Every structure is written in structure tokens, then in C-alpha cells.
Amino acid sequence: MQRIVQFLAVFLIVTFLVFVTTRVGSTDPARDLAGGSVQQELVDEVTVRYHLDSPLIVQYAYWLKDLVTFDFGYSYAQNQTVTDMFKQRLPNTFFIGFWAILIGLVLAVPIGVYSAYKRDRYFDRGMSFMSFAMISLPALVLAVLLRYVFAVKLNWLPADSTYVAPWDNPLEHFRNFILPSIALGLGLAAVWSRFLRADMALTLQSDFIMLARAKGMSPRRVLWGHALRASILTLITSVALQITVLIGGAVVVEQMFSMPGIGDRFVFAVQGNDLLTIQAIVAVIVLVVVFINLCIDLVYAVIDPRIRHARALG
């Protein structure tokens, strides 16, 4: 319960700061909300609708009340409700992020484990070189290379991706999302494999690992049954922290592969002072981050009994 209260406080503080920033940073919030160069009648209507003549704390309270009912307001700049914008764009960003994280983990875990096991040998040095190369390579450059090789040159995959739900057509879903997801996932895999390799290298020198080896356990069981479980907390934390980074990366791949998503829309909302869209996107990002961190906090207790025992004593 304490964690839920803390995360709720974080959500309220962050969204209120964003709310105040968008209002204070705008010379004429009512006109920006109305879409810019419009007639005064529409500006007056927007002022009344969003209570812009009230104190900021009152405006924020009304915004929160609408948020509970999933009423994010109307974007006059896009001539649609913000809710409709989410329905159109959120699935693209969600699946790009989901597959990027999955690709990152599928690559990072075995590479990190075996790099630690083969520390300072050819495999470890080769993977270290590849990881640093991927970390240094911007997602934009990687997206351009993937698009040129697999879409333009080989014509195996579409150059411009479109949204296809996995339950409608799994093959077409894969074809449209694989390149954007790889463009983000390889960078994640590079970072996560280095984190896991460092933790695994220390864990493999621990007394309980020495004891497991002395008992005659196979290297596979020692690595995957004992060492990995004791070393995975940092990796899990990094996965949670990378959620907001994915939004920034999604901006690049969404534009490169012509896939309209939340990241792409957020950039244009900031450029066009589309205040309600900015507030709504930030609120959703904060909710996702808060929820994931809450889940990660619960996973910690499952993976490491010491954490669960410490909470019980507290």
C-alpha cells in the first residue's frame, strides 16, 4: 500500500509540473488550445470549456477529473479528440516498444551470461566490442541501414510499415514491426548485456557459487539456476528505466518507417503548442512508468527472498 501511495504521489507531482509548465510557457494558453490563428469566439469557448479563467490548481483538478473518465480533451490542431489520437497511434508505439524489449532481452541474457562465464576470452572480448559498437551507433543510423538493406536492396520487408494487429495476421504483423523493433532492440541488448555481464562476473566469484561447483553441479545449472537469478536485479531495473528512453527512440524509427505513433505525435505537439496532447502523452508515459516500476518492485521480492524477508520485518 505504501508503494502505491508513493507512485500515486509521483504521478500527481510530475503531471502537475507538466501542467503548470505548459500553461506558464504559453503566452496565450486559450489560443494555443484552440489551435492558434482562430476566431475570438472559439478562444472564448475554449476558455470556458477548460476553465482557463480559474487558478491553475483548479484547472488541474478539472483535468484530473476528466482524466479519470479517459476524456483527454479535444485537439483543435489535429481536429480530433486526444482519445482518438491514442486509439490510432498507441498500438504502433506499444508493439514497437514491446518487441524491442523482447529482442533486447533475448539477445542480452545469453550474451551477458556467457560473456561472464568466458570472461576475458575471445567470446567476451568480441561481444564487448560489438556491444560498445551498438551503444555508440545511433538508432537513426541503424534504422537507415536496416531499411536500406532489408527493405530497399533485398526487398524482403516493407520500407514503410503499417499497423497490422498480431491476432489479425501474425506474419504481416511481424513483417511490419520487425525492422523498427530491431533498430531499437539492438541498442537495448548492448546496454543490458554489459550490465548483466558485470553482475554475473561478480556473482560467479561468490561463495555460494563455489559451493555449488564443489557439490558437482553442472556449469549449465550453476549459470542458469543460481548465478543468473542472483545477478538479474540490475537488468530488471535497467529494463524499467529504459521505458522512457524507448519513447525517444520511437520518434526516430516511427518517422524512418512512416509508422505514426505516440513519439512522433509528441514531437509535433511540442512544436505546435498542442497543450492537451502534451499533457495527455506525458500522463500516459508516467502511468506506464509508475505501473512498470510497481510491478518490478513486486518482482524483486519474488526473485530475491532477502527483500521479501526485509519487508516482512519492516
Task: State pLDDT tens for residues 134-182.
Answer: 888 888 888 889 888 888 888 888 888 888 888 888 999 999 999 999 9
CATH topology for 89-264 is: MetI-like fold (1.10.3720)
* pLDDT for the residue numbered 313: 47
In the chain, the percentage of residues whose pLDDT exceeds 70 is: 93
Q: How far, in Å, CA of 37 to CA of 73, rounded?
A: 19
Position 310 pLDDT exceeds 60: no
Nearest CA to 26 out of 276, 228, 214, 300 is that of 276
Position 116 pLDDT exceeds 90: no
* pLDDT for the residue numbered 103: 93
* pLDDT for the residue numbered 102: 92
Distances (CA, A) of 296 to 15, 40, 100, 113, 143: 22, 49, 18, 21, 30
* pLDDT for the residue numbered 303: 67
Q: Where are the alpha helices (DSSP H) in the chain?
A: 2-24, 29-34, 40-49, 56-68, 82-117, 122-136, 139-146, 170-203, 207-214, 219-221, 228-231, 233-256, 262-271, 275-303, 305-313
* pLDDT for the residue numbered 107: 93
Q: How far, in Å, CA of 70 to CA of 51, rounded?
A: 18
Position 307 pLDDT exceeds 70: no
DSSP codes joined into one string, 48-61 = HHTTTTS-HHHHHH
**What is the mean predicted confidence (pLDDT) over 32-61?**
79
> Domain limits of the chain?
1-77+272-314, 89-264
Distances (CA, A) of 210 to 200, 233, 234: 14, 21, 22
What confidence category does residue 305 fall into, taking pLDDT thresholds of 50, 70 and 90?
low
Are 73 and 280 in contact by the 8 Å Cβ rule? The answer is yes
Position 195 pLDDT exceeds 60: yes
**What is the mean predicted confidence (pLDDT) over 243-267?**
79
Nearest CA to 63 out of 311, 282, 288, 313 is that of 282
Position 291 pLDDT exceeds 60: yes
Q: How far, in Å, CA of 303 to CA of 301, rounded?
A: 6
**What is the mean predicted confidence (pLDDT) over 269-291?**
83
Position 119 pLDDT exceeds 80: yes
Q: Are strands 74-75 and 80-81 parallel, antiparallel or unpaired?
A: antiparallel
Burial class (CB in 10 A: 0-12, 13-18, 19+), 204: buried
Range of weakest confidence among 99-103, 171-175, 197-201, 302-306: 302-306
Position 309 pLDDT exceeds 80: no
Encode pLDDT of 210-233 as tens digits.
Answer: 777 777 777 788 788 777 877 787
**What is the mean predicted confidence (pLDDT) over 7-32?**
80
Per the prediction, the chain carries an average pLDDT of 82
Q: Tell which wins on pLDDT, 57 or 29.
A: 57
